[in-house]
Amino acid sequence: MANEPRSTASSAVGGGMTVDECDSMIQRSLRTPMVKFLKEHLEKSGCNIGSNFIKAVHCDKKVSGGYVRGEGIVVCSNHLKIQDEVNQVVIHELIHAYDDCRAATLDWSDCAHHACSEIRAGHLTGDCHYKRELLRGFVKIRGHEQDCVRRRVLKSVTANPYCSEAAAKDAMEAVWDVCYNDTKPFDRAP
């Protein structure tokens, strides 16, 4: 989740892109099959997402994007460079939005709730596909996907001000099996 002050400055820094460039990429990502599928299932679950639900912003923190209940999805233009990165952020954050929609009692300050949604997003989005992992410098062949999901869950949940590193790890382990195997709205992990 990206709960931080944001500006709409359109100057890219650190090798990223401008807000306008990112907005164009978001529009392209809205036409991809996975994004269309997730948006359709969000709406079937009773969560209408308007045209401004996903927006490009300049982020001060070193994050790619985030979902904020009641506000929608932000994509951090200044930390992304290519269409595939924008697509991955949009898909990842749509999983969080879907989880928030279908679970009326989801509490983002609860480490286990946050960990569960991160497990699902990491597993269902392809964030941890072995080709992406190789590009990140992780070369493990067997078990790479679950290791990657665990690493990314811990990184995200420990960034939650309510979750220490130990609490994040305990929460992740406690909910791992149930959340990793929960593939909704998909029939199986894509």
The number of angstroms, rounded, from the C-alpha of 99 to the middle of its chain's C-alpha atoms is 11
In the chain, what's the furthest Cα-to-Cα distance?
43
Examine the residue annotation and report whether 40 is marked as an active-site residue of this protein.
no
- SS3 for 89-158 is HHHHHHHHHHHHHHCCCCCCCCHHHHHHHHHHHHHHCCCCCHHHHHHHCCCCCCCHHHHHHHHHHHHHHH
- Which residues pair with residue 76 across a beta bridge? 57
* Nearest partner of 118 among 152, 147, 146, 84, judged by Cα: 152
Residue count of the chain: 190
Continuous segment of H or E residues that includes residue 20: helix 19-29
Q: Which of 85, 93, 118, 133 is catalytic?
A: 93
Whether 164 and 158 have beta carbons less than 8 Å apart is answered as yes
- Looking at the DSSP assignment, which residues form a beta bridge with residue 7? 58
By C-alpha distance, which of 112, 109, 98, 99 is closest to 175?
A: 112
Q: So which residues are the catalytic ones?
A: 93
